[in-house]
Chain A
Amino acid sequence: QVQLQQSGAELAKPGSSVKISCTASGYTFTSYSISWIKETPGQGLEYIGYINPGSGGTNYNEKFKGKAALTVDKSSTTAFMQLSSLTPDDSAVYYCARSVSFWGPGTMVTVSS
């Protein structure tokens, strides 16, 4: 069955970067885009962007350009999202999703000094 396994919670300092992962199984990794979504109590669900694992092509929500960088490693069927120049506003739960059909369990990122 389709599974998306996400990396564990992160505690990061302001100004630093984190890289969270989303490992896919149960389907052909290169056949579906992987999207990333941010969730906060205040803003709700926000779309960050997607990556095409086959081509590596990406598309970002304007709001997250320069903040998020999406990559994949086809050999391990893993998608990554690096968040840079972290501020407390980046504290959130981050989800990966296979197209619209299946979401991972989420990774909590806390940015605090």
Chain B
Amino acid sequence: DIQMTQSPSLLSASVGDRVTLNCKASQNIYQHLAWYQRKLGEAPKLLIYNVNSLQTGIPSRFSGSGSGTDFTLTISSLQPEDLATYFCQQYFSGWTFGGGTTLELK
């Protein structure tokens, strides 16, 4: 199975900060990488697919980058509604998920 490792697991930031979340795959997954936002009690919401394609309706402050095994989700200017847990998912071979990064207010 392809393992997905996210870092950090907890990130403290202030409103307006540029925030970077990392995701590393245990092998090359090419462009088959998605990012989700998860709020308490809600289903995961797709933000980014195919590494850098913004899902319809998602604010442009979210962006994705990377290739192969190393990927990044960036929030250009953190908003209060962005406080949530974010996880990455590979869909190159089955699906596997990272453990998540929780964003909290500093």
Q: Given A100-B34, A101-B55, are A47 and B94 also a contact pair (CB < 8 Å)?
A: yes
CB–CB B43/A61 < 8 A: no
Q: A47-B94, A61-B94 are in contact. Are A101 and B99 (CB under 8 A)?
A: no
Interface size on A, residues (CB 8 A): 15
Q: Tell me which residues from 53 to 73 in chain A have a Cβ below 8 Å from any Cβ of chain B.
A: 61
B51 vs chain A, min Cβ distance (A) = 12
Q: Is there a chain A Cβ closer than 8 Å to B89's Cβ? A: yes
Pick the contact of A101: B49, B94, B95, B96 (CB < 8 A): B49
* B91 in contact (CB, < 8 A): yes
Interface 0/1 of B79-102, CB less than 8 Å to A = 000000001010100111101100
With a 10 A CB-CB cut-off, give which of B87, B95, B97, B100 has the most chain A CB atoms.
B95
Q: How many residues of B contact A (CB 8 A)?
A: 17
Q: Report Cα–Cα, A101/B91, bound state, in Å.
A: 12
A4 nearest in chain B by CB position: B43
Q: How many A-B residue pairs have CB under 8 A?
A: 34
Binding site for A on B (CB under 8 A): 34, 42-46, 49, 55, 87, 89, 91, 94-97, 99-100
Q: In the A-B complex, list the 6 residue pairs whose CB atoms are closest, starting with the nearest.
A: A47-B95, A45-B97, A103-B43, A100-B34, A103-B44, A105-B43
Give 15 new A-B contacts, CB below 8 A, not counting A47-B97, A100-B91.
A37-B95, A44-B97, A44-B99, A44-B100, A45-B89, A47-B94, A47-B96, A61-B94, A95-B44, A100-B34, A100-B46, A101-B46, A101-B49, A103-B46, A104-B43
Residues of A in contact with B (beta carbons under 8 Å apart): 35, 37, 44-47, 61, 95, 100-106
